[in-house]
Amino acid sequence: MNMNEQKSKIASELEELLNSHFANNEMASKFLQRIEQGTLTKDENPKSHLCAYFAAYDPNAKQFFIGHHKKSGLWLFNGGHIDSGETIKETLVREIGEEWGLDGNDFELNSPAFLTITEIDNPTKQPCNFHYDLWCFVSVDKNNFNPVEAKLLEEFHEADWKSLDEARSLVTEKNTLLAIDFVENNYFSQ
């Protein structure tokens, strides 16, 4: 498969997702405009590209698994850049292996449920200016969730389970706060 075919794989997947699950959504319109520009991955465009979060939460404990990210200096959920030729699920499986040291295929990985665009101004540590974030929320039982600490510590100073109040007191990045609200309103209230 050549690069144009690989690139169109994620573009096609996203267009279908955005048009079916996020119809008439202002944020989805911005994503569709970005897709039209092409060069959607970090390799193709280091300044503006797609990212996927795999935000772990425990609906029974009403807690989030977040960490203090080394590059950004922020408290964030786990996530990463979509690589050339990957689907969203392939990105999630790869990133779960890289960050949690676990097999991503062992988790129920749903389609993105939330979209954000993050502006980044951290030129000494990150060349990115914009992340087009696809938020996938991963329901886990915190008592049976055992990420490999050495893997976590490659990208995070620390990571652990936090209550709603604890998470909100640590998180300062607006889109991560919106994701916390989304989980609370859609997954904790059930």
pLDDT per residue as tens digits for the range 5-54: 444 689 999 999 999 999 889 999 999 999 999 999 998 999 999 999 99
- Condensed to tens digits (0 to 9), the pLDDT of residues 91-115 reads 999 999 999 999 999 999 999 999 9
Strand segments, DSSP code E, in 63-163 are 63-69, 75-76, 79-81, 114-119, 130-139, 156-163
Q: For residue 11, which of 94, 82, 95 has the smallest C-alpha distance?
A: 82
The answer to whether 86 and 168 have CB atoms below 8 angstroms apart is no
Range of the domain at 75: 3-188
Identify the sign of the CA torsion 73, 92, 142, 178. Answer: positive
Q: Cα 178–180–181 angle (5° rounding)?
A: 65
SS3 of 165, please?
helix
pLDDT value at position 151?
97
Q: Please report where in the chains the tokens 């690139």 appear, as a residue.
A: 7
pTM higher than 0.85 = yes
pLDDT value at position 54?
97
Q: For residue 32, which of 44, 47, 46, 22 has the smallest C-alpha distance?
A: 22
Backbone angles phi, psi at 171, to 5 degrees: -80, 130
The answer to whether 162 and 63 have CB atoms below 8 angstroms apart is yes
CA distance 131 to 181: 20
Looking at residue 53, the DSSP 8-state letter turns out to be E
Which alpha helices (DSSP H) does 38-157 contain, by range? 88-100, 149-155
Partner residues linked to 53 by β-bridges: 79, 135
Q: How many domains does the chain have?
A: 1
**Amino acid type, 177:** L
Letter string b/e over residues 30-51, b meaning 16 or more CB atoms within 10 A of that residue's CB: ebbebbeeeebbbeebeebbbb
pLDDT value at position 8?
63
- Condensed to tens digits (0 to 9), the pLDDT of residues 14-28 reads 999 999 999 889 999
- Condensed to tens digits (0 to 9), the pLDDT of residues 73-84 reads 999 999 999 998
CA distance 137 to 62: 13
**CATH code of residue 112:** 3.90.79.10
